[in-house]
């Protein structure tokens, strides 16, 4: 993203009016009858605290200010980067089986989220659901790779930062067309649900360097921003059950 002129008119915003993303994460665990949950990017535990099944949480620095245990039968916390976690640990070992639902909300740079997705898919089963946070930026400014709120023209939401993790959705559509991918209307910056997983796939790992070279330089122009939103038009959260062939 190029330098922003703070005196320029604020860029247009896309509308998101659904429930908070944390409530959607809980909803997905309930309607999928998840028994095993993993969260990357826990921070203060607000989202993790809403989940009731056995869970694994990963974050380089926990800042808990609430009860994160809740009604969980077990909770395993790892204070480290997700790369280190997946290198040295396997959530299946402590959860007793593959992850049913995962929520990825780590570092807001696409290469980090791409690695988190690759590593998470390996510990899931085909019917698992991986939720990607912050992939529906509501304006172009928040997609900068370095968060610089002082340069934002839209001062009201200058603190919002999605980085360029939106690229991961485009990458998955290009390299893994067999995946089931749907965007959902949750605030503040959407949620992408991915299923139809293949824990044995090496497509993304084999093409990793190619993907970084191809997508790294890309920015969102206004035209591309509109096209991205058109391709990933968010559905209401209540549509999740039907879109992912779940029992009502």
Q: Which pLDDT value is given to residue 30?
A: 97
In the chain, domain spans: 21-243
* Closest to 100 (Cα-Cα) out of 130, 135, 70: 130
What is the Cα gyration radius of the chain? Answer: 18
Pairing of strands 54-59, 36-40: parallel
Q: Which pLDDT value is given to residue 9?
A: 78
Both tokens assigned to 198: 């293949």
pLDDT in tens, 128-159: 999 999 999 999 999 999 999 999 999 999 99
CATH number of 21-243: 3.40.50.150
DSSP state of 68: -
Q: Which pLDDT value is given to residue 101?
A: 98
Q: Which pLDDT value is given to residue 42?
A: 97
Place 12 in a pLDDT band, splitting at 50, 70 and 90: confident
Place 62 in a pLDDT band, splitting at 50, 70 and 90: very high
Pairing of strands 124-133, 180-184: unpaired
Please name the residue ranges forming H helices in the chain. 21-31, 82-88, 91-95, 110-121, 166-175, 203-206, 208-215, 222-231, 240-243
pLDDT in tens, 84-135: 999 999 999 999 999 999 999 999 999 999 999 999 999 999 999 999 999 9
Q: Which pLDDT value is given to residue 247?
A: 56
Model confidence, pTM: 0.94
DSSP state of 81: -
């Amino acid at each position: 993203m190029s330098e922003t002129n703070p005196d320029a008119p604020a860029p247009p915003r896309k509308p998101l009016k659904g429930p908070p993303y944390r409530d959607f994460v809980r909803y997905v665990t309930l309607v999928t009858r998840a028994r095993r949950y993993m969260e990357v990017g826990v921070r203060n535990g607000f989202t993790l605290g809403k989940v009731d099944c056995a869970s694994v949480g990963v974050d380089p620095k926990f800042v808990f200010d609430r009860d994160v245990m809740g009604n969980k039968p077990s909770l395993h916390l790892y204070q480290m980067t997700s790369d280190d976690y997946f290198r040295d640990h396997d959530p299946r070992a402590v959860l007793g089986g593959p992850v049913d639902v995962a929520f990825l909300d780590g570092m807001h740079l696409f290469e980090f989220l791409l690695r988190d997705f690759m590593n998470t898919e390996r510990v899931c089963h085909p019917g698992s659901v991986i939720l990607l946070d912050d992939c529906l930026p509501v304006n172009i400014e928040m997609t900068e790779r370095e968060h610089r709120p002082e340069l934002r023209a839209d001062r009201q939401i200058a603190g919002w930062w999605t980085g360029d993790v939106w690229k991961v959705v485009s990458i998955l559509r290009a390299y893994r067309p067999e995946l089931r991918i749907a965007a959902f209307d949750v605030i503040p910056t959407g949620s992408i649900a991915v299923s139809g997983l293949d824990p044995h796939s090496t497509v993304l790992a084999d093409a990793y360097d190619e993907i970084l070279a191809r997508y790294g330089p890309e920015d969102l122009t206004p035209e591309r921003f509109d096209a991205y939103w058109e391709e990933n038009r968010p559905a209401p959260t209540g549509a999740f059950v039907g879109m992912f062939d779940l029992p009502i």
